[in-house]
Each structure stands twice: as structure tokens, then as C-alpha cells.
């Protein structure tokens, strides 16, 4: 049971990392023009 729990935790961590990477990519794509305007 311990190994199953560890595997599920690892899967959640991997999924969380991947989802955060995808979200950050999407946010960068969405807000890049806004950042350009803010930095000017």
C-alpha cells in the first residue's frame, strides 16, 4: 500500500508540474502584449 500511495503522490506532483508549466505558457502568451505596454 505504501508504494501505491507514493506512486499516486508522484503522479499528482508530475501532473501539477506539467499543468503549471502549461498554465504559465498560456499566461505568458496571453499577457505578453500587456507586459509590453506596462514596461513601456
Q: List the chain pLDDT tens, one digit each, 40 residues.
A: 578 888 898 989 999 999 998 888 887 887 777 766 766 6
pLDDT at 16: 92
| pTM for the predicted model, two decimal places | 0.49
CA angle 32, 35, 40 (to 5 degrees): 130
pLDDT at 4: 86
pLDDT at 15: 92
**How far does Cα 14 stand from its chain's mean position?**
10
pLDDT at 12: 92
Amino acid at each position: 500500500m505504501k508504494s501505491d500511495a507514493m506512486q499516486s503522490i508522484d503522479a499528482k506532483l508530475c501532473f501539477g508540474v506539467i499543468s503549471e508549466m502549461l498554465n504559465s505558457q498560456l499566461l505568458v502568451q496571453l499577457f505578453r502584449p500587456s507586459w509590453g505596454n506596462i514596461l513601456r
